[in-house]
Amino acid sequence: MRILCCPHLPGSPELSPFFNVLASRVLHRHAALGWSGLVARVASTAHQAESSWNEPDQEDFLSRLRTALAAGTFLPNSPLLVHAGDARPKLFACFAIDACRPLDEFLALARNIHNGMGGVGFSLERFGDAASAETFLAAVDEDTVANQAGRPRPASSAVTVPISHPAAEAVFARSGRMRTINMNLGISDSFMVRLSGGDPTAATAFKRLADAVHLTGQPGVVFTDRIPRIACERDAVFAANVCGEAPLAADESGLLGSLNLVAFARRNSVGAFALDEAGLQETTATAVRFLDGMHDLHYHASSRLGANSLATRKIGVGVMGFAHLLVLLGVAYDSPEAEVVAGNIGRLMTKAAQSESERLAALRGSFPAWRPVLGISSRRNACLVAIAGTATLALLVGTTGGIEPIFAHVGRHRVMECEFAILDPLVAYMAQAKGLDPVEVAGRLVGGERLDTVLGPILGRLLPTAIELSGEAHVRIQAAFQREIDGGISKTINCPARTTPEQIGAWVRLAHECGCMGLTIYRDNSLPSQPVSRLA
């Protein structure tokens, strides 16, 4: 298999090795217009949202947005890229829907959302027993699979159940057996107190969790007391969306967008890279204004979804390319310095997002569900910063997803039924900077040579793969971001096949101690099919 080498910094989507194959998903029926046509469509949609307000800097805002989109510096979630400009645009990626409605009504609503490229989250908290919960899960999974044909991307859902709830048995029974549903267990602070105190019932449930994750990579964990419970209805049940970065109330939705952090790496006066903090904050503010405007245009699948979503106007500005940024900054992913960088980025983005949302509220009104008792400022959006996994978006700009480490130095990717072998772009960039041929470097790595032998010990230290890092390193980077932002984070600890259930349990405990909102753990090759695998 030929190995693709792209020795340039991640950025313009049209330079990505995945661009042509992803065009059928992201450009969809507008493929003939190319990326510039997509930028024009999205900017036109933004102009439509802005037309209701008489802000004097409207043209400057739209110009900043067009520039960011063209360069891949900021990209909104995939449904918006595909459906911008439609008469009834389905722009949101994240949905939670109430599972208490009749099954046929639930399936019809989920189908509608899936057809618009949205992901569905739901809670089984109101189910009284495991049998009915398992029947419900099987029906949702079967219906989703049966209706995949014609969708721009395969649909998926996520279920959340408290670990001590009777329906948790359905999660344990179905973990690893669902084709389209990600399984999550909700863990409260009080459960963790009981676990630490030696409660045998909590210990048994926790061991079952660790054993299930070890065997199948599921369920994921959501620390339910960490969720910002801001909703139109005060007693609403919350559920994580597909990747966990947007916990939402039942029958509520939100949308996401991500900044490519590599785009904010600037060479300073001595030729070293540094973070452009001002640029990061300016683009964050642009993203907040843009995403907020989409709330006024999105075509909701039900009137209740529309009412609840407009009551909170939740958005999530996130990042991708964090691991690649660290390489440029000369910082190792598993170092205390990396935690400082992570915290600084989260803090800068939150400050900029809050400032812009407060500015918008002063001009356009606070989100309708806002009230002083919530303990947050009067602002336009209930939630502001959330970090998605950015699988498609990261491929589009050729960088690492979300805050994940580099997955492989040379990886085999399966995308849209096509397979590629690719030398990681930062490995290729650094190889070329050292005067080495990236193609030759890729061949040596696949042939079994270590990266530190090929590129030297310094770059070997800066370019570890996810599986080479300790679980503790994964958790601490996630926690450093989580302390500074109000939304969730899509994060997976990719760990070696030799990982034990006891290690998995220890990482879950550490994530809770460090303040994470949740996490996923995947033991290498615990499932027969992986979308990405390592060649080196």
End-to-end Cα distance, the chain? 14
Mean pLDDT to the nearest integer, 426-434: 94
Cis peptide before 438 (omega within 30 of 0): no
pLDDT at 419: 84
Mean pLDDT, residues 164-175: 95
- Mind giving me the DSSP string for 497-508? TT--HHHHHHHH
Out of 5-14, 361-370, 389-398, the most confident range is 361-370
The residue-averaged pLDDT of 170-194 equals 96
Lowest mean pLDDT, pick from 4-18, 307-321, 394-408, 481-495: 4-18
Beta bridge partners of 406: 465
The alpha carbon torsion through 308, 311, 312, 313 (nearest 10 deg) reads 100
**Looking at per-residue confidence, does 229 or 533 come out higher?**
229
pLDDT at 282: 98
Mean pLDDT of 354-374: 97
Q: Which two tokens stand for residue 30?
A: 């507008």
Higher pLDDT, 350 or 12: 350
Of the chain, the percentage scoring pLDDT greater than 70 comes to 100
pLDDT at position 186: 97
Q: How distant, in Å, are the alpha carbons of 76, 154, 413 from that of 529?
A: 28, 16, 12
Q: What average pLDDT does this structure show over 423-427?
A: 94
The average confidence (pLDDT) of the chain is: 94
**CA gap 95, 520 in Å, rounded:** 19
**3-state SS class at 190:** helix
178-209 burial, b at 16+ Cβ within 10 Å, e below that, comes to bebbbbbbbbbeebbebbeeeeeebeebbebb
**Which pLDDT does position 32 carry in this prediction?**
82
Bridge partners, residue 25, by sequence: none
Q: At what angle do helices 130-146 and 103-115 cross, to 10 degrees?
A: 40
Angle, alpha carbons 23-25-27 (nearest 5°): 50
Helix axes 34-50, 58-71, angle to 10 degrees: 150
- Average pLDDT of the residues in 337-354: 98
The encoded tokens of residue 283 equal 């683009």
Q: Which amino acid is at 499?
A: T
| Strands 3-4 and 74-76, bridge-based pairing | unpaired
Q: What is the mean pLDDT of the segment spanning 367-395?
A: 95
DSSP 8-state secondary structure symbol assigned to residue 405: P
What is the token pair recorded at 228? Answer: 């910002």
Q: At what angle do helices 425-433 and 322-329 cross, to 10 degrees?
A: 20
The average pLDDT across 139-144 equals 98
**In this predicted structure, what is the pLDDT of residue 31?**
80
The region that residue 198 occupies, defined by phi over 0 for left and psi between -120 and 50 for alpha, beta otherwise, is left
Q: Confidence band (pLDDT; 50, 70, 90) for 1?
A: low
pLDDT, position 29: 78
Q: How confident is the model at residue 14 (pLDDT cuts 50, 70, 90)?
A: confident
Q: Which residues contact 233 (CB under 8 A, 6 or more apart)?
A: 249, 308
pLDDT in tens, 64-76: 999 999 999 999 9
Q: Write the burial class of residue 502 (CB in 10 Å: 0-12 exposed, 13-18 middle, 19+ buried).
A: exposed
Mean local confidence (pLDDT), 269-274: 90
**CB proximity list for 121: less than 8 A, separation 6 or greater:** 94, 95, 96, 97, 157, 158, 159, 160, 239, 240, 241, 242, 248
